[in-house]
Structure 1
């Protein structure tokens, strides 16, 4: 059954938590593409922090409801895509809030049934494991929009798939499917689209059979220092994005994305 979300100071995007034994399925829903913004990141962080305090939960499955996992930030309504710092909270950017996700304690399995694009890819990469399907699509498409990758991907993606493959995705902005993602280690299992969530829950259940403190301690060992590296990376990323989002090319990148065509960048 759905459980109430941890209390927050702002209205939360639609989230639900369903418990299956020692596994909690944390789902977010923002139709049609599950675009990510600062409010959603805060809500996810609060939910994961709440689950950390629940001794009955040992593993979390993270799922985006509907066709897609998360299509990243939404640039269709304005220049910032929700990336700017709130005027009343200096420094508390979307990326700064995302750092909270890396400081939670329990393993996370992401269920990726569709698009994981841009910041949505960043969210997927923060999980410990990813289950995908042939229909899933992955892209670090920032440079195709005209600016530097963000959401800590400059730190997390090379760590997961190696510097060479990460550079290829960053430089080209290309979109890859689930089969290619499995080849390069971006996902851990490839299953039928309808089996993505059940497979993620099954993997989480297998992890939950292990001694919970032992799992959390080895996770902390394997991830030691990663949150600090992530925070250093997001400072650099945001600094670069600030001036690049003022360029004419960024406006062209957004237009090209909306018109589903290749951008015509002029280097200004």
Structure 2
């Protein structure tokens, strides 16, 4: 464990746990830096194929540390701090490995941004979501103005931004903010199980698909160009040959990322 981010490993899944339960895992500047380091290490580790992001205790993350909002924050310093924190968003959205977010309790503010930037959200019956930024006179940050509309549409996202209302699990699932709903207390376990399934996938295609969506391949021509650019190289990969052989031999493939 390093500071307020716990790091554990289950087979080829790296589990990152926000560890500040006394403050509902609200993220301080130091925690942001620790999470950047933990994510960079996980994405760079050859023995990691998928990542689970969750919070210790009853809540995933209640947002940013409000105590830091009471200090003077000069504009230039704030710009640098925000740009540094954007490293988290870029890794979650475009990093080469799938990220599953496990949510118990609050995913508010920055916590909502972390969840929506992840590839998949597993949430328990206790989960609730809120874009609280307007309540403290701020715009949504950490990429939420991009990631939330990807799930719920622009009109619904604007409503959630402007009203800053709480979204309980029933509505969150209906809107598409949650991919898998589970019993209270089981979000992390179920997220790890899902991540382990993804860890068995061929890693290079996973990385390319994530990069395509993070780049914004939204038109048909964009997608077709991505196929032309990458599929011929994948035909020559060891993992493609292994997948074909496993299919013919009726066994599970063993991918190596080559």
Q: Same fold (TM over 0.5)?
A: yes
User: How far apart are residue 200 of structure 1 and its match?
Assistant: 0.3
Counterpart check, 1:212 vs 2:199: no
Q: Distance in 2 between matches of 1:73 and 1:35?
A: 5
Structure with more of its chain in helix, by fraction = 2
Contact 2:50 2:195 in 1 (8 A): yes
- Any gaps of 5 or more consecutive residues in structure 1? 6-12, 227-268
Identify the match of residue 114 of structure 1 among 105, 122, 131. 105
Question: Secondary structure at the residue paired with 1:25?
Answer: strand
How many residues are treated as equivalent by the alignment?
Answer: 212
Question: Secondary structure at the residue paired with 1:18?
Answer: strand
User: How far apart are residue 130 of structure 1 and its match?
Assistant: 0.6
Q: What does residue 164 of structure 2 align with?
A: 173
Q: Distance in 1 between matches of 2:158 and 2:144?
A: 11
Counterpart check, 1:91 vs 2:79: yes
User: How far apart are residue 86 of structure 1 and its match?
Assistant: 8.9
The equivalences for 1:1-268 within 5 A come to: 13-32=3-22, 33-76=24-67, 78-79=69-70, 84=73, 91-93=79-81, 95-101=82-88, 102-103=90-91, 104-225=95-216
- Any gaps of 5 or more consecutive residues in structure 2? 218-258
TM-score (ref. length: structure 1): 0.73
User: How far apart are residue 56 of structure 1 and its match?
Assistant: 0.9
Cα distance, 1:78–1:96 mapped onto 2, change above 3 Å: closer
TM-score (ref. length: structure 2): 0.76
Cα distance, 1:205–1:126 mapped onto 2, change above 3 Å: same
User: How far apart are residue 68 of structure 1 and its match?
Assistant: 0.6
* Runs of 4+ residues deviating >3 angstroms: 84-87
The Cα offsets for residues 81-105 of structure 1, whole Å up to 9 and x where unpaired, read as: x9x3698x67321x31222121332
Cα distance, 1:49–1:85 mapped onto 2, change above 3 Å: farther
Cα distance, 1:22–1:158 mapped onto 2, change above 3 Å: same
Q: Considering only CA atoms, is the larger Rg found in Structure 1 or Structure 2? A: 2
Q: Distance in 1 between matches of 2:212 and 2:64?
A: 31
Contact 2:128 2:169 in 1 (8 A): yes
